[in-house]
Amino acid sequence: MSEHSTYTPGSGIEKWLDERLPIIRFSKEHLMDFPTPKNLNYWWTFGAILVMCLLVQIVTGVILAMHYTPNIALAFDSVEHIRRDVNGGRIIQATHAVGASMFFAAVYVHIFRGMYFGSYKAPREILWILGVLIFVLMMATAFMGYVLPWGQMSGWAATVITNIFAAIPVVGTPLLELLRGGFSVGNPTLNRFFSLHYLLPFVIAAVVALHIWALHVPGNNNPTGVDVKDSRDTLPFHPYYTMKDLFGMVLFMIPFAWFIFFAPDILGHPDNYIQFNSQVTPAHIVPEWYFLPFYAILRAIDFNLLFIDSKLLGVIFFGGSIVILFLLPWLDTSKVRSGNFRPMFKWFYWLFVINFVALTYLGAQPADGIYVLLSKICTAYYFIHFVVILPLLSRIEKPRPLPTSISESVLAKSHA
């Protein structure tokens, strides 16, 4: 988007560089001058917060890898070695472990913000799809990272999650053995998970670059969902949004630091302080909180459908719950982006949020009694929201009148 450039090389060296690799021009265009809607609220700072989370995970992770030993006999003790004997190790390890939770907390806010304000709608479908792809890569990375400390929950999570793949017809068993590097979870599993856990964050970083590229073609959505009309609607990214994002980041670091320093283990499970033993099954195998909604969907399916057995059906729903996110731009056909101007959508959006929280809660409960029924209801509603409610709403809903431009809505607000 070179039309925004106000860059003129200031010195001979800059001019020389500009004719060969215009990296300063590029940075100025995209990190400083980039025209950004002036009405973005604080939910929009989570993009920058997520970049920070990724960097924190990569930096702490690289340091942890210097001291960690990916061997089933040594892994558990090597993590304790990091906590006890490495300089600053307790903080670095806690930052990485808590950081995973904070990363997911931020990504859920980011996703739900996108859902409310219709940020997935044309012309931002690719931007949304790349985002969902990042989410999937994050889940894979977090899952494999959770296995590395080789505690009871690590080993059993690895067992349960890799088992999911065995339900796939024909290729299931070979795939399971490929993932595990053998017939059961063991040293080869730990080794390949360590290798992939180191690789995937860099893949995520690359997709994040594409995600930002796809953002900078149409530009940001905004709380009104109305397109930018002219320069009165926008502000340069720097200093306005660099400053706002920095403030958001510092604010986000407060709960982050609270967990690191005062409750570093509260987001984990006590059983993970017991070394993995394939002969002893924990009373409840629970994944980390950020997987619970999807885990609840997986477990909710305990019945066969026609020729599909319950195990495969569970996997289909589990996979479907993510795949459906990719299709969201085409399921919601309403022309109005922002939930603020969609009176019916607004209600169903919050119902969906409550349902999602309920799934999170149910994922942590034992699979018996009332929980089974509730899980089924919530799972059904999750899908109904996407395949029935959203397409239907687009047809029957009468949106409220939209402001003609961002600056008009801003002025109306300040005079109100």
Instruction: Return the number of other C-beta atoms located less than 10 Å from residue 146's C-beta.
Output: 24
Q: How far is the CB of 84 from other proteins (least distance, A)?
A: 6
Q: Is the dihedral of CA 195, 199, 201, 207 positive or negative?
A: negative
- Which residue in 134, 138, 154 sits closest to 146, CA to CA? 154
Measured from the CB of residue 177, what is the shortest distance to other proteins in angstroms?
Answer: 29
Contact positions toward other proteins, by CB under 8 A? 38-39, 77, 80, 83-84, 90-91, 94, 235, 239-240, 243-244, 246-247, 250-251, 253-254, 257-258, 260-266, 270-271, 273-274, 283, 344, 347-348, 350-351, 354-355, 358, 361, 365, 369-371, 374, 378, 407, 410-411, 414
Which is nearer to other proteins, 128 or 256 (by Cβ)? 256
CB of 249 to other proteins, least distance (A): 9
Under a CB-based contact definition with an 8 Å cutoff, are residues 255 and 266 in contact?
A: no
Dihedral of the alpha carbons of 151, 155, 157, 160, in degrees to the nearest 10: -160
Q: What angle do CA 236, 241, 244 make, to 5 degrees?
A: 155
Q: Which is nearer to other proteins, 38 or 67 (CB)?
A: 38
The answer to whether 94 touches 86, Cβ cutoff 8 Å, is no
Whose tokens are 């590029």? That residue is 26
Cβ neighbour number for residue 159 with a 10 Å cutoff:
18
Least distance from other proteins to the Cβ atom of residue 274, Å: 5
- CB closer to other proteins out of 244 and 311: 244
Q: How far is the CB of 341 from other proteins (least distance, A)?
A: 16
Minimum CB separation of residue 235 from other proteins in Å reads: 7
Shortest distance (Å) from residue 224 CB to other proteins? 12
Strands 35-37 and 234-236, sheet pairing = antiparallel
> 62, 124, 69: which is closest to 92 by C-alpha?
62
Nearest approach, Cβ of residue 355 and other proteins (Å): 7
Place of tokens 């003129």: 8
Instruction: Return the number of the residue (47 or 131) whose C-beta is nearest other proteins.
Output: 47
Token pair listed for 139: 């889940």
* Nearer CB in complex with other proteins: 262/307: 262
Distance CA 56, CA 205 (A): 12
d(CA 137, CA 208): 11
- Residue 70's SS3 state is coil
Q: How far is the CB of 137 from other proteins (least distance, A)?
A: 27
C-beta of 95 vs 141, nearer to other proteins: 95
Whichever of 50 and 235 has its CB closer to other proteins, that residue is 235
Of 186 and 264, nearer to other proteins (C-beta) is 264
Nearest to 379 by CA among 283, 303, 270: 303
DSSP 167-195: TSTTTHHHHHHHHHTSSSSSHHHHHHHHH
Beta strands in 157-267 (DSSP E): 234-236
Residue 340 Cβ vs other proteins, minimum distance, rounded to whole Å:
16
Give the Cα separation of 335 and 393 in Å (integer).
Answer: 11
Beta-bridge partners for 275: 151
CA distance 311 to 163: 10
Nearer to other proteins by Cβ, of 189 and 365: the residue is 365
Asked if 100 and 57 touch (Cβ cutoff 8 Å), the reply is: yes
What is the closest distance, in whole angstroms, from the C-beta atom of residue 20 to other proteins in the complex?
A: 34
Cα 105 to Cα 113: distance, rounded to the nearest angstrom = 12
The token pair at 163 is 């088992």
Closer residue to other proteins, CB minimum distance, 246 or 308: 246
* Residue placing its CB nearer to other proteins in the complex, 321 or 407: 407
